[in-house]
Structure formats: C-alpha cells, structure tokens
Amino acid sequence: MKTCKDVEIICTKVQYREATFVEKIKIRLHVLFCKTCKTFSKKNTKLTALCSEANLRTLPIEEKEKMKKKLKSKA
C-alpha cells in the first residue's frame, strides 16, 4: 500500500501523463481505502480538466521583455 504522500506524487504524474500503468493501479487501490486521497484525486482531475478547457497560454518572451522595459522606464 502506498502512503498518502506517494499517492499525491502519482496523482500529479497522472495529471501530466507521466504515470506508469502500475502506478495508476496503485493509486486506484489506495483511494478505495483513503477518503482524503480520493478527494484530492477528484479535485486534481477537475483542475486538470478546467485548465485544459481554459486553453491557457503564456506571453511570448519578446512580449515579456517589452513589459519589463516599459515597467522599468516608468519607475
């Protein structure tokens, strides 16, 4: 049986599609008995889905540099 800390790590790996098949089985077994980890896993899955839905993106490096220069010139 995995510890709750191990399950947290595996749950995060699942979120980023890095978990192995064996890890996925271990997490499923653990959440059958641990309500806290079951709740964490559900919330983590929901967060992943919401982030995917939001279609988040970051600014290109050039835009970030422009913003930095603009902020420095105002200071």
- Domain boundaries defined on the chain: 4-74
Single pTM value for the model: 0.63
Task: Summarize pLDDT for 26-60 with one digit per residue, the tens.
Answer: 889 999 999 999 999 899 889 888 888 888 778 89
Nearest-5° Cα angle at 12, 29 to 10: 35
User: pLDDT confidence of 1, banded at 50, 70, 90?
Assistant: low
Cα(43)–Cα(66) distance, integer angstroms: 37
- Taking the mean position of all CA atoms in its chain, how far away is CA 42? 12
Cα(37)–Cα(41) distance, integer angstroms: 6
